[in-house]
Amino acid sequence: MGRRRGQRWGAVGCAIPALVGGLGIVVLPEGRMIIWMTLVVMATGAALVVALALMGLRTRSHAQTGRLPGFA
């Protein structure tokens, strides 16, 4: 991801598969549920990784990164 301006693409890259999987569950659930659930679960895992990476990228030091989760 790196310290660059285009960090939104990581979040968008996680949101699109989750949205497709959620719509698939609602619109075409019969016989394809395992596909939709796999898509949603993979997107959720990727979102966790992106959230942790962004937290590290938004801080300037290790100490600041360690204090940041205490605010939530």
More confident residue, 63 or 20: 20
**Which pLDDT score is estimated for 5?**
67
Q: What b-and-e string marks burial along 10-36, b requiring 16 or more CB atoms within 10 Å of the CB?
A: beeebeebbeebeebbeeeeeeeeeeb
**Which pLDDT score is estimated for 38?**
95
Instruction: Tell whether 63 is covered by a domain.
Output: yes
More confident residue, 29 or 69: 29
2, pLDDT greater than 60: no
d(CA 40, CA 14): 9
Instruction: Tell whether 59 is covered by a domain.
Output: yes
Instruction: Tell whether 3 is covered by a domain.
Output: no
Write the pLDDT tens digit of every residue in 27-61: 998 888 999 999 999 999 999 998 888 888 888 88
**Which pLDDT score is estimated for 11?**
85
Count up the domains in the chain and report the number: 1
Structural domain containing residue 13: 8-67
Phi and psi for 32 in degrees, rounded to 5? Answer: -120, 15
Question: What is the end-to-end Cα distance of the chain in Å, rounded?
Answer: 23
